[in-house]
A = this chain, B = another copy of it.
Amino acid sequence: MDELLLSKIRLGAIAELLSSEWITFPTLVRSLGTTNGNLGAHLLKLVDAGYVNEEKTFVDKRPQTRYRLTRRGREAFKKHVGEMQTLLRKAI
């Protein structure tokens, strides 16, 4: 079981990233309804695990950090769901 995926914020971030390409930090803060500090800590874990890529650039002379799901992150999420489904079969 993937402990990284046992988190509301991290799962929410992955959900957002599943359907788009790059998403910026402030966009994720708003869509997840959390705070800068909290999201920053969670994203760091996802980056460290290789589940998301982080890219720091400047846009209009302002810093911009954006994130994208990696293949590895996508596969990890699929695997996680598969494990849950396997468990669920026992429930029916």
Give A contacts to B, CB under 8 Å. Answer: 1, 3, 6-8, 11-12, 14-15, 18-19, 74, 77-78, 80-81, 84-85, 87-88, 90-92
Contacts and interface: CB of A to CB of B under 8 A. Distances in A.
Contacts of A11: 1, 6, 87
Contacts of A81: 81, 84-85, 87-88
Q: Closest 10 CB pairs between A and B?
A: A18-B90, A19-B90, A18-B91, A81-B84, A6-B6, A81-B88, A15-B87, A74-B91, A1-B8, A84-B84
Nearest to A20: B90
A80 B90 contact: no
A14 B78 CA distance: 21
Nearest to A19: B90
A84 to B, nearest CB: 5
Given A6-B6, A19-B90, A81-B85, 9 more contacts: A1-B8, A6-B11, A18-B87, A18-B88, A78-B91, A78-B92, A80-B84, A81-B81, A81-B88
